[in-house]
Amino acid sequence: MVRRVRAWTAAVLLMGWMMGGTGCRAEPWGLWQAYCRSFVDAQGRVVDHQNGDRTTSEGQAYAMFFALVANDRAEFDRLLAWTRDNLAQGNLATHRLGWEWGRAADGEWKLLDGNSAADADLWMCYALTEAGRLWNNAQYTALGKTMEIRIEKDEVASLPGFGPMLLPGTDGFHPSADTWVLNPSYVPLPLVERMAGIDPSGPWSTMARELPEFLRASAPQGFAMDWVSYTAAKGFAPDVEPGVKTGAGANAKAAPLGSFDAIRVYLWAGMSSTADPETHTALAAVDGMGTWLKEHPYPPEQVSAAGVPGTVAGPVGFSAALLPYLTAMHATTALRQQEERMEGQRNPATELYGNPPAYYDQNLAMFGEGWTSHRFRFDREGELRVTWKK
């Protein structure tokens, strides 16, 4: 079954290359079209049905990236317009993105949290920058540059004894004078490399060089963590998201771990260009997952702060996220197992993964499947390479 899926994908991609052109005709990508039918409304709002039909800046940014990969400019513009009007007070050039929009306690649909999510800001900045280049649109390019300046000003901190690093958001991640809380999945190497090209005098080149060490120092036994803290005296250590309770008690949450955020660390490392020397070091920093999958059929849903995997299998999106990583690690058997698992959970009726299909799983699947099927690549400088643009 996996071989048939690969053959069909290759045929579709070959047709796309032969058709060529640089216009705005959407490329055939069944998963993207299925995602739009299920999760994107007519206004361009990405709806997370598993979480109260809310919308996040992450969802909007990811969808804009996928629309660009699919050469779907009409959808890209709808997504951008909705984001501007609802998450940025009508003007992305002058207002930062709020991260969460949804139904408030009074029943009104509105922006629920105006704090930023830096990974979403970075992905949207990247999508705009690359859309400007690939679609030859100066307005996208200018808006991307404006966002880069704001991210650098508001969401990059210089960690004493280490160097510049992207904070998870504007507010709430510097809880004391000598402590910062960070999210390793918020810093994809290709995007950082691209920011360095946009602003060579900024912090991005240094951040890219430091990123593998950040991953290594914050990944116990080679397993990425969702959240980590940094102090100059102690360095990096697993932590919990700011504001989340820990310890005993009915309302307490588990200790620090690697799970739904951390799975993206492997994804980003696997998608990074092999021509970039930082890529190989980043992959080696998080090799624990590759070692685990040599002896186990599925990725764990959780890994403890000591680097010990749990016994519960992660959802199908975890398998999708690991396709580029396992490809880069030359883990052929484990790669085949994850592909077979995905095919077994693909619903022919919806053309999505899982029943019911979860929003987050489909996002991970579009990254993993899109990269594995060569719909897109990142080059050494982080520029996006797509099948529809020679």
Q: How many CB atoms lie within 10 A of CB 138?
A: 8
CA distances from 321 to 21, 265, 309, 314, 339 (A): 30, 9, 17, 11, 11
CA pair distance 146, 124, nearest whole angstrom: 11
DSSP characters over 182-208 = E-GGG--HHHHHHHHHH-TTSSHHHHH
CA pair distance 125, 112, nearest whole angstrom: 22
Residue 48: active-site member: no
Q: Cβ contacts of residue 93 below 8 Å, gap of 6+?
A: 143, 146
Active-site residue, from 48, 75, 119, 155: 119
Residue 119: active-site member: yes
CA pair distance 316, 294, nearest whole angstrom: 18
DSSP label at 243?
T
CA pair distance 363, 180, nearest whole angstrom: 28
Active-site residue, from 27, 48, 58, 193: 58
Whether the Cβ atoms of residue 206 and residue 157 lie closer than 8 Å to each other = no
| Category of 103 on φ-ψ map: left (φ > 0), alpha (ψ -120 to 50) or beta | beta
Catalytic residues: 58, 119
